[in-house]
Amino acid sequence: MTDGMDRRKFLKVLGVTGGGTAALAGCSTDDVAKLIPYMVPVEDQIPGVATYYASTCRGCAAGCGVHVKVREGRAVKLEGNPEAPINRGKLCARSQASLQATYHPDRNRSAMMRQGEGLAPAEWEAALAEVATRLQAAPAGSVWFMHGTQTGSLDALIGEFVTAIGGRRLVFEAFAHEAVRHASRETFGRDEVPLYRFADAQYILSFGADFLETFMSPVEYTRGFADAHGYRDGRMAKYVHIEPRMSGTAMSADEWIAPTPGSEGTLALAMAQVIVERGLGRPPADARSLRAALASFTPDLAAQATDIDAATITRLAQEFAAGPSVALPGGIGTQHADAHRTAAAVNVLNYVAGNIGHTVEYGHGLRQGDGYATLREFTVAAEAGSIQVLLIHDANPVHASPSALNVSGALGHIPFVASFSRFQDETSAWAHVVLPDHDAMEQWNDWQPRAGVQMLLQPAMAPVFDTRQTGDVLLDLSRRMGRTPRQATYKEYVQARWADLQRTLGDRAPFDTFWRNALQRGGVWTEARPATVRLAAGATRVTNPAWAPTEGQLTLIAYPSSTFYDGRDAHVPWLQELPDPVTKMTWGSWVEIHPDTADRFGIMEGDVVQVTSAQGTVAVPAYLYPGLRPDVVAMPLGQGHTAYTRYATGVGVNTWSLLPGEAAVFGGAQHYVSVSLTRTSRHERLAKTEGRNRQLGRGIAQAVTLGGIAHGALDHPFHVAHAAPVPEREEHLLDEVAAAQRRATDYGPYALRNTRWGMTIDLSRCTGCNACVAACSAENNVPYIGAEQVRRGRAMQWIRIERYFEGGEHGEPLETRFVPMLCQHCGNAPCEPVCPVFAAYHTPDGLNGQVYNRCVGTRYCGNNCPYKVRYFNWYDMSEPGAPKFAWPDPMHWMLNPDVTVRSRGVMEKCTFCVQRIRGAQHRAATEGRALVDGEVRTACQQTCPADAITFGNMMDPEAQVTRTAADPRGYRVLEGLNTKPAVTYLMKVRHLEEA
């Protein structure tokens, strides 16, 4: 892009011309600013105007399409690609934060070779030569290539490469869902995870699948779930979650049923039995063949095993059979030694209810990884010394596998290890040569998440560091080893495959056209026809799974973190600071203990507890969580890295060190293990963002039941007890004041006259997934501040997901409610009159303006804000060199140039993405037209996978936001204070009969 000019200077310059990534320092005494033009103009780059490139997110295997927002040649934000079939314009929190990995200060900046103990930067030439010679020297069959899930071209290329050198490849994926695949093999003879179509379901039953968090394709499933379960004119699906722990997914359930750990399958079988016996549902003809197999699983027997009374089981069966319904087998969090039986049972249940082929589709080829068992083969081979050379790409088995397996020990036996890792992680620490791969933002590649869907990755910007696309490296290596691959570069390789693809698609257009269209859309996709599946022999052999902890011990559930996945995202500071959806914890690990259990052990929240399994012991603070069976404790995976950049190293504990090393029957790792707890004398203040988890009856998060709505619960909307009505006269006066205020600052063509920006948030759709939080941080340059500051209560996120518990005591069911809390942009904002310098004031278009450069920092506004959505810069997170600097070089390159980076001593808060509003207004004015509804989308709204947020001009009766706000479920938080918020929340609806 910029021929040979220093990138940093370039950025600085555009910081000036483009107007402003730099921190606001009263009057900057910088050295004289230089303006440096392009040598040759770049056709698709205009300084000050963003360019968008379609690409694909590589955070997990789901394959969500993204639009990379590029300013002055630098990617500054990711947004979902509205056309992409998987995510339809939505992204999860991990994807939104992923740019911090792209610009990570601890990325491998060049090729590296081992020198003594450590790795030292090296010339690519030397590194490649070394690897090539090692590969040639290695005897046949002694070269292994271990890599994470790959699809499409790179998968093919690796395949060719490995066959050529007569090696062996091993696809390592920590969360390979072996149990589900094994069960599908047994019951339907298909080795894959089915695709679940929530949108078509009226009854959703999850046997521990965290499909809103890590289960296969969270964004897609969240969208489908919200469409089905979101309340719309009197109808919504019912969602029942069955798991000993209330996971982040279960928090959205209408009914959470906690069976004895491991007994979910028995419940499923009992339900199937009821359905078959009573001939409910629309089962396929051959379902009767299961009758014998199921006969023994009567509800009464199941009741003993599952600790759920028979009546409930029967009810569930009837509700489920009434359909259209879908049942999901367990996720990683419930993958115990017998989990394949649970999955098989669930398959059978789906089958007898006639869901297979409707809400449960096979034939999409959803499978990732060879499974944990193969990793075991690897360690055995390594220890036997039969592996001479190991190539590792995009996999960190040393951290992301049970420590008992001792992968690191195995690596120690391998004479030569070459890693393509972008970061110094636990695995690449064993490497002799590191050939760092490009980041997804920097490379040509493609991705095939499932049959019929082909996504493309294109470099949205020049590489940040001296890294190389692994595809190119492989081609280079094979050339060095005396072969001549058909293509010179990996890009050509990809294009060649796409040419074939074009042929198979029967597209007659010239390839360039096909290619360009694909690039613009982000790929090509066709609707794949689901395979029709019939029962396999194994189906009739279903038995009830069993899991029993060692006598007198508790069952530990090691569940995957929705924030760090298997730990691969622990190096992203924004994610470290992202409150866990369930516990609201940041920067660390914890063990979830039921309050009663805690009492038994005399444990208080924050007490450091020793969790001991047969494999090991970790000391971790206790978090008291009512959403657990008392005989169960839970810990998230993903933390406790020993080497993974400055942000992840030494944070929390590695839960994998507690898990058994041996693979289960179905070839997967076991995530249930018996543990004992011992309290230590240490206590620590938890780094959680939540103050209190109960509403104190203040109606912050309001909910109604479906039955309630039917009985007219919405006719008398909830009012906080004290919400004294404002006297007519005063009401009138207040309105006059507001009107006068608007008159005083009427600014004609500047914006639509009498605009009032407003927002609605539908709590019946919100799943508390945090995507909005991450998106907001990325859009508005919100800094992270670290564990100690979070403990001090200084987290900066402009929007937070408040999580409140209802019930859960004295035998009433536990209910969770989420409220995304952001600046309410009040009509009578309490923060405005108290600001002595008008830094907080009301804009004519109804925003609650915050002028950073005017703010003196009295913080009176913060005290007077009843919603507590104003955040103060206690430290200088924006000054290079300052102790709390949040954007170490080159991370500052991702700062949004349209948003001021706040310096210490000023108050900041949600602005309704005013930069987007002004940008749109400028565009409209330049084109001589008025803004149209939907033209301005806030960052949180844009990314919300559940589509819970609408935004627009409340003064426009036609605007979607105005119509949504009129919903009878609408209410405003703390309405009784007469703050006249611009944010309307639509009550959560629980699918329950009683009013």
Question: x/- site string to another protein, residues 940 to 969, per CB under 8 A?
Answer: ------------------------------
Which of 841, 887, 893, 951 is in the footprint of another protein by CB under 8 A? 841
Question: How far apart are the C-alpha atoms of 814 and 246, rounded to whole Å?
Answer: 9
Binding to another protein by residue 24, rule CB under 8 A? yes
**Is-contact 287 331, C-beta < 8 A?**
no
Which region, judged by CB under 8 A, interacts with another protein, from 60-68, 358-366, 448-456, 846-854? Answer: 846-854
Binding to another protein by residue 29, rule CB under 8 A? no
Binding to another protein by residue 926, rule CB under 8 A? yes
Show the tokens assigned to 317.
């069966």
Binding to another protein by residue 4, rule CB under 8 A? yes
For residue 420, give the 3-state DSSP assignment. Answer: coil
**Cα separations (Å) of 363 from 210, 341, 366, 388, 451?**
22, 22, 8, 38, 8
Binding to another protein by residue 519, rule CB under 8 A? no
Which of 1, 7, 17, 415 is in the footprint of another protein by CB under 8 A? 17
Q: How near is the Cβ of 915 to another protein at its closest, in Å? A: 5
Angle (CA) 976-982-983 rounded to 5° is: 85
Question: How far apart are the C-alpha atoms of 505 and 474, rounded to whole Å?
Answer: 28
Q: How near is the Cβ of 287 to another protein at its closest, in Å? A: 48
Which of 519, 531, 714, 720 is in the footprint of another protein by CB under 8 A? 720
Which of 683, 854, 972, 980 is in the footprint of another protein by CB under 8 A? 854
Rg (Cα) of the chain, in Å, rounded? Answer: 28
Binding to another protein by residue 727, rule CB under 8 A? no
Q: How near is the Cβ of 123 to another protein at its closest, in Å? A: 19
Binding to another protein by residue 692, rule CB under 8 A? yes
Q: What is the DSSP letter of 363?
A: -
Q: How near is the Cβ of 206 to another protein at its closest, in Å? A: 27
Our CB check for another protein shows the closer of 98 and 843 to be 843
Our CB check for another protein shows the closer of 672 and 852 to be 852
Binding to another protein by residue 26, rule CB under 8 A? yes
Our CB check for another protein shows the closer of 118 and 793 to be 793
Q: How near is the Cβ of 926 to another protein at its closest, in Å? A: 5
Which of 899, 910, 944, 965 is in the footprint of another protein by CB under 8 A? 899
Binding to another protein by residue 930, rule CB under 8 A? no
Q: What is the DSSP letter of 793?
A: T
Q: What are phi and psi of 938, to 5 degrees?
A: -75, 160
Our CB check for another protein shows the closer of 508 and 692 to be 692
Binding to another protein by residue 18, rule CB under 8 A? yes
Binding to another protein by residue 129, rule CB under 8 A? no
Binding to another protein by residue 905, rule CB under 8 A? yes
Q: How near is the Cβ of 787 to another protein at its closest, in Å? A: 14
Question: How far apart are the C-alpha atoms of 886 and 641, rounded to whole Å?
Answer: 21
Which of 510, 813, 836, 880 is in the footprint of another protein by CB under 8 A? 836
**Is-contact 389 134, C-beta < 8 A?**
yes
Beta bridge pairs of residue 677: 611
Q: Report the amino acid identity of residue 290.
A: L
**Is-contact 342 263, C-beta < 8 A?**
no
Which of 506, 602, 697, 727 is in the footprint of another protein by CB under 8 A? 697
Angle, to 10 degrees, between the axis of helix 264-277 and the axis of helix 339-352?
20
Our CB check for another protein shows the closer of 486 and 929 to be 929
Which of 485, 849, 945, 981 is in the footprint of another protein by CB under 8 A? 849
Question: x/- site string to another protein, residues 318 to 337, per CB under 8 A?
Answer: --------------------
Our CB check for another protein shows the closer of 644 and 805 to be 805
Binding to another protein by residue 992, rule CB under 8 A? no
**Is-contact 207 325, C-beta < 8 A?**
no
Show the tokens assigned to 255.
């009914």
Question: x/- site string to another protein, residues 36 to 75, per CB under 8 A?
Answer: xxxxxx----xxxx--------------------------
Among positions 871-890, residues that touch another protein (CB under 8 A) are: 871-876, 882-884
Our CB check for another protein shows the closer of 202 and 789 to be 789
Q: How near is the Cβ of 820 to another protein at its closest, in Å? A: 11
Q: Identify which of 349, 285, 286, 292 has the alpha carbon closest to the alpha carbon of residue 317.
A: 349
**Cα separations (Å) of 372 from 375, 419, 664?**
5, 20, 9
Among positions 799-828, residues that touch another protein (CB under 8 A) are: 800, 802-804, 819, 821
Q: How many CB atoms lie within 10 A of CB 707?
A: 14
Total of residues contacting another protein (CB under 8 A): 117
Which of 206, 260, 458, 911 is in the footprint of another protein by CB under 8 A? 911
Binding to another protein by residue 31, rule CB under 8 A? no
Our CB check for another protein shows the closer of 505 and 739 to be 739
Binding to another protein by residue 133, rule CB under 8 A? no
How far the first Cα of the chain sits from its last, in Å, is 63
Question: x/- site string to another protein, residues 245 to 264, per CB under 8 A?
Answer: --------------------
Among positions 733-792, residues that touch another protein (CB under 8 A) are: 745, 747-750, 789, 792
Show the tokens assigned to 188.
């339907």
Which region, judged by CB under 8 A, interacts with another protein, from 188-196, 346-354, 526-534, 844-852? Answer: 844-852
**Is-contact 72 891, C-beta < 8 A?**
no
**Is-contact 265 345, C-beta < 8 A?**
yes
Binding to another protein by residue 690, rule CB under 8 A? yes
For residue 13, give the 3-state DSSP assignment. Answer: helix
Q: What are phi and psi of 819, to 5 degrees?
A: -135, 110
Q: What are phi and psi of 503, to 5 degrees?
A: -60, -50
DSSP 69-99: EEETTEEEEEEE-TT-TTTTT---HHHHHTH
Q: How near is the Cβ of 877 to another protein at its closest, in Å? A: 9
Binding to another protein by residue 159, rule CB under 8 A? no
For residue 428, give the 3-state DSSP assignment. Answer: helix
Our CB check for another protein shows the closer of 515 and 874 to be 874
Q: How near is the Cβ of 841 to another protein at its closest, in Å? A: 7
Per DSSP (E only), the strands in 588-720 are 591-593, 607-612, 617-624, 632-636, 672-683, 703-705
Question: How far apart are the C-alpha atoms of 247 and 267, rounded to whole Å?
Answer: 19
Which region, judged by CB under 8 A, interacts with another protein, from 93-101, 113-121, 309-317, 797-805? Answer: 797-805
**Is-contact 324 245, C-beta < 8 A?**
no
Pairing of strands 607-612, 672-683: antiparallel
Question: How far apart are the C-alpha atoms of 403 and 544, rounded to whole Å?
Answer: 30
Our CB check for another protein shows the closer of 413 and 859 to be 859
Q: How near is the Cβ of 631 to another protein at its closest, in Å? A: 30
Our CB check for another protein shows the closer of 229 and 916 to be 916
Which region, judged by CB under 8 A, interacts with another protein, from 31-39, 321-329, 451-459, 656-664? Answer: 31-39
DSSP 504-573: HHT--S-HHHHHHHHHHHTEEE--PPPBP----GGGGG-------PPTT-EEEEEEPBTTTBTTTTTT-H
Q: How near is the Cβ of 573 to another protein at its closest, in Å? A: 18
Which region, judged by CB under 8 A, interacts with another protein, from 154-162, 223-231, 395-403, 855-863? Answer: 855-863
Question: How far apart are the C-alpha atoms of 201 and 358, rounded to whole Å?
Answer: 9
**Is-contact 990 704, C-beta < 8 A?**
yes
Q: Identify which of 99, 175, 135, 173 has the alpha carbon closest to the alpha carbon of residue 439.
A: 99
